[in-house]
Amino acid sequence: MRVHTFLLAAVMSVSPAVWADIVHLNDGSSINGDIKKAADGWFVTDVHGKVRHVSTEEVRSIELAPRGDPKDVAIGRLASLRRSVEALNDPKMIIDRYEKFIEQNKEASIAQDAKKDLAEWRERMAQRKVKVGSNWVTPEERSAMQEKALLVADQARELLKQNKLRDADATVSRALEADPSNVSALYLKGLIAYRQDQIPAARKAFEAVKEAMPDYGPVLNNLAVILWRQNQQMAAIGVYFQAMQAMPLNKELLNNVAEALNALTDEQRKSPVAQKAIKLWTEQDTQLQQQMMTQGLYRWGASWVDKAQYEKLQVAEKEVKEKIAKLEADFADAQAKVDTIDAQARQNRDAMRYMEQQRVVTDSTGKQMQYPLPPQYWDYDRANRRLEVQRRETVALLDAMRAKAQAVKGQLPVPKFSGVQLVMGVEGTPAIAPADKSGGATPVANLAEELAGGGGGGGVVTPPVKSPAVESKTPEAPKAPATSTDKPLKY
């Protein structure tokens, strides 16, 4: 018996006077009536009470009639339509849905209510109303709401700078009530959630900003930090790459990328996304080092130090590297000893298995006999016991050298890496001017006046457009010291 898949569709265009199931047969005919499932098909009872059995092979599809009072069904359909249009932002699309609904239900009493709704939507479209949150407002009202939200977001920003998280959170909520799409408030909401260790909520808020401003550097940086905290290292590297493209030569961003790249395993560093990020970071950091040298600062891992401190740290690092090199040589010798022990133990075990096999013989009658193991078997056994003791001692030595290596690296007066990546704070808050009468939005300067001058230092905010390639105008400076790409000692 062939198995068919049937389409069960609700009747949308039948008259209220006809509420019956319809069975469409493969021969093109149809049967109206109430249907009940049978073992090998259905029983169909028509309006006269006559019952007909149809097999599974005969049926092409079935339309189930609405159950209950026709008036209640129609009311439910209109309620469903109203709910469905709540998620739409285009009045024209909503009007199209209402027109189709009215055409399909023109004989139902509920059609008059639908026509009233349709008239309201046509009036909204004529007034050029737009959706803000769950409300439909005129462009002028939207501009006023956006302006209010921007001012309230600025208040929240100041509260956050004072570390008044509770007050800032309440103020951000007020801003988002006025304008749910306000990028300033959404960014601040992400910062507040991050400070409260609500990482998923922070990610959601920053992703909302990214959706409105795909190339906005500070939010890309913050999303990368969050992805790293969620153990999505390679995804974080990919977002850092985007951030470096959107915000070239930003000191805080490049510091974060240095931390991230240092923490990657050797295998992760070989991936295409990591290789792209390493290449771009190296190019940008070389330029940044030239700029920072004019200020007397030098790259030290993921941070910056002055010239005097840098020279002292170089001497200390040289001593540490010499100690590490000695430890690496000792470690290699110990590891080779472990490998030798393992190889000898395997040979001994192979010889012992051979002796175990040879001790069993079969005589001419087919009877198996087992001879005692030779003395050499027990010599191998004792040798393996000694090797196991030597192996444990050598492995313990390896562990001790690992610990010593970590202690030696800790002898640097200033560690090169902290293992911490930082989000950009309130200084990265974006701001968008209220939409003009044509519905457009004009980027404006960020909220913080202190960032107006930019600088190589922190969280410079740019409009949400793709940044062009940066050409350094810095006067020629002494060549920056090569950035060390040495990985921390790992065994």
- Is position 192 within any domain? no
Residues 293, 385 contacting (CB under 8 angstroms): no
- Is position 273 within any domain? yes
- Is position 52 within any domain? yes
Q: Mark whether 331 and 401 lie in a shared domain.
A: yes
What is the CATH number for 50? 2.30.30.100
Q: Mark whether 314 and 401 lie in a shared domain.
A: yes
pLDDT at 380 over 80: yes
pLDDT at 287 over 90: yes
**Distance between CA atoms of residues 427 and 451, nearest Å:** 7
- Is position 288 within any domain? yes
- Is position 244 within any domain? yes
Q: Mark whether 395 and 319 lie in a shared domain.
A: yes
Q: Mark whether 14 and 97 lie in a shared domain.
A: no
State pLDDT tens for residues 26-43: 888 888 888 888 888 888
State pLDDT tens for residues 188-228: 999 999 999 999 999 999 999 999 999 999 999 999 999 99
Going from the C-alpha of 346 to that of each of 141, 383, 485, the distances in angstroms are: 82, 11, 39
Find the mean pLDDT for residues 159-182: 89
Find the mean pLDDT for residues 220-242: 97
Query: What six digits make up the tokens of 67?
Result: 């159950």
Q: Mark whether 290 and 352 lie in a shared domain.
A: no
For 462, counting Cβ atoms within 10 Å of its Cβ (0-12 exposed, 13-18 middle, 19+ buried), the class is buried
Q: Mark whether 333 and 354 lie in a shared domain.
A: yes
State pLDDT tens for residues 56-114: 888 888 876 655 555 666 777 788 888 888 878 888 888 888 888 888 887 777 888 88
Q: Mark whether 405 and 313 lie in a shared domain.
A: yes
- Is position 93 within any domain? yes
Last residue of a domain, one of 19, 37, 64: 64
Q: Mark whether 54 and 105 lie in a shared domain.
A: no
pLDDT at 247 over 80: yes
Last residue of a domain, one of 96, 126, 156: 126
Last residue of a domain, one of 64, 85, 107: 64
Q: Mark whether 317 and 270 lie in a shared domain.
A: no
Q: Mark whether 39 and 95 lie in a shared domain.
A: no
Query: What six digits make up the tokens of 208?
Result: 């909302």
- Is position 18 within any domain? yes
Find the mean pLDDT for residues 324-352: 93
pLDDT at 441 over 80: no
Print the domain residue range for 22: 8-64
- Is position 219 within any domain? yes
Q: Mark whether 259 and 225 lie in a shared domain.
A: yes
Q: Are strands 303-306 and 21-25 parallel, antiparallel or unpaired?
A: unpaired
**What's the pLDDT at 155?**
87
Q: Mark whether 314 and 382 lie in a shared domain.
A: yes
Residues 152, 140 contacting (CB under 8 angstroms): no
**What's the pLDDT at 69?**
57
| Exposed e or buried b per residue across 296-324, where buried means at least 16 C-beta atoms within 10 angstroms of its C-beta | ebbbbbbbbbeeeebeebeeebeebbebb
**Band of the pLDDT at 243, cuts 50, 70, 90?**
very high
Residues 33, 20 contacting (CB under 8 angstroms): yes
- The tally of domains found in the chain comes to 4
What is the CATH number for 274? 1.25.40
**What's the pLDDT at 11?**
36
